[in-house]
Amino acid sequence: MTRKIVIIACWVSVIALGAFLRFEGLSSRPFHCDEATGARITANSMAAGGSQFDPTHFHGPLLSTLAIPLCRAGGETRWQEMTKGTLRRLPAMAGSLLVLLPLGWRRRWGDAPMLLAAALLATSPLLVYYSRMFIHESLLGLFGILALMALLTNPKYGIPGVFIGLMFATRETFAISIIAWLAAGGLVALGHRDWFTRPALLAAWQTYWLPVLLSGLTATVVAGYFYTDGLRHLHGAVDAVRTFFVYQTTPGHDKPCGYYLELLVLPRKSAGIWWFGTPVALLALLAYAATFRRNATPEPWRPVIRFLAYAAVGHLLIYSLLAYKTPWLMVLPWAHVCLLAGFSVIGIAAKRPQWQAALLLLAGVALLSQFRQTRYAIGHLASDARNPFAYVPTRRDIETVEPWLHQLAKLAPNHTVEPLAVIGSGYWPLPWYLRSFNTIGYWQDPPANIAEFPIVFCVPDAAEVVMTQLATTHTPLPRGLRANVCVTLFIRNDIWQAWMKPDQP
């Protein structure tokens, strides 16, 4: 009874810690440009009563589809009413559920391995950071691990297909996971020549042909339902396939081949903090290596552990070979690594005392170092470019613009600073911070009557032209937008002079 109480307390503590790290101060960090874009898509879908998938640039529709009920439940039914906290609640929930998944494997693999896996998932700075961000990756990580667990333990009735379909509906990169899993399965099979005998192949065919067929059908139906907006726009099914051929990546994200290895494994110091996932990678490597030592790992467990190892490496290799790289693409691959690392403590009670001490020490270092990095990553470095997970972060300076413009409006003619003008490209997440204003124009090049606008925002690619046109009519003020990107705010001179009067704050 005491042992059961301890185990229950450990599971509750790990799950509670994972949820706390994901929900604490969820609204404190400025909105990222990708979050603002996703919020705009969600608002448009809510206003239109449905969504239509764009295969050229945006990811799957599931993020906005699931966010809409949360927004409505919070009384946020328009773009102007949306809040960071409500939108981020969805990925935070997905990230918390991801921590819960190893609990479903505890009877099969034991409490110790699955508790360690859950604790690593709970405290990972990569997983926590992107569970607090309104982007697709937390959903993809959740559905990906659910699909993986269903494939490895319960492939009947097409259950894996449900989660694979949800992965597809989340984003098109699910295909990379399918390729990595197929390759991993092939490598595991190569290590078991007895699987290729005629009786074994016949038995495998009789056992798995129907689950495979059902999984393919359920994946198609589930993904098709979301891409067609509940069968209201059937062309969405065609667009879901077209996206693999016409999708256009945003320039500026090309990275060297070793980017992910450096991000996740190799120690680096930034902002006075050491960032590294080396202990987790070492635990995963130990779990894999143990499958080749006699009596170190039970025979039925070896294919599963090796599959996880090959799948993790497969993901990493494929993403590393692609020029386009962002750190959040590693959410699902790193979740594989955390699960694999949990298996390093299989049978720890039967190991020699020195091995027990070494494993416990390494696991302790992994958990404590992850927790420390996570607190910095989601704390005062949450929107700091020195944080390796704060990719192209939004400057906190931009959050003060909207309330200040409302103060300026009180001094302006007719008590308004509208219409506003935004000139140039690459201005996100600025529209999020201007959403309380009704009249805003967006132009690549300044219109002929640009001097008539009370307030003009200009991003760097158009700054020189706008500066010349507004030299005598407006006063320029620099504001931070994103890391290493400023926006120039031009205020019409009469409004600026009214603001600068001595009796103004």
At residue 504, the pLDDT reads: 58
At residue 503, the pLDDT reads 66
pLDDT of residue 211: 82
Answer whether the bond into residue 199 is a cis peptide, omega within 30°. Answer: no
373 in Cβ contact with 273 (< 8 Å): yes
CB–CB of 428/33 below 8 Å?
Answer: yes
Helix (H) or strand (E) holding 428: none
Residue indicated by tokens 């003008």 = 421
**According to the model, what pLDDT value does residue 83 have?**
95
At 301 the pLDDT is: 83
Q: How high is the pLDDT of residue 505?
A: 55
The DSSP line for 298-324 is -GGGHHHHHHHHHHHHHHHHHHHHSSB
E strands, 375-484, are 420-423, 440-443, 455-458, 474-482
For the chain, the domains span 2-378, 396-499
Taking a C-beta distance cutoff of 8 angstroms, is the pair 60, 227 a contact?
yes
171 within 8 A of 135, measured Cβ to Cβ: no
Which residues, 6+ apart, have CB-to-CB distance to 23 below 8 Å? 89, 92, 96
Residues shown for the chain = 505
419 preceded by a cis bond (ω within 30 of 0): yes
pTM above 0.85, yes or no: yes
Q: How far apart are the first and last CA of the chain?
A: 66
Task: Name residue 34's amino acid.
Answer: D
- What pLDDT is attached to residue 130? 98
Q: Which residues of the chain have pLDDT under 50?
A: none
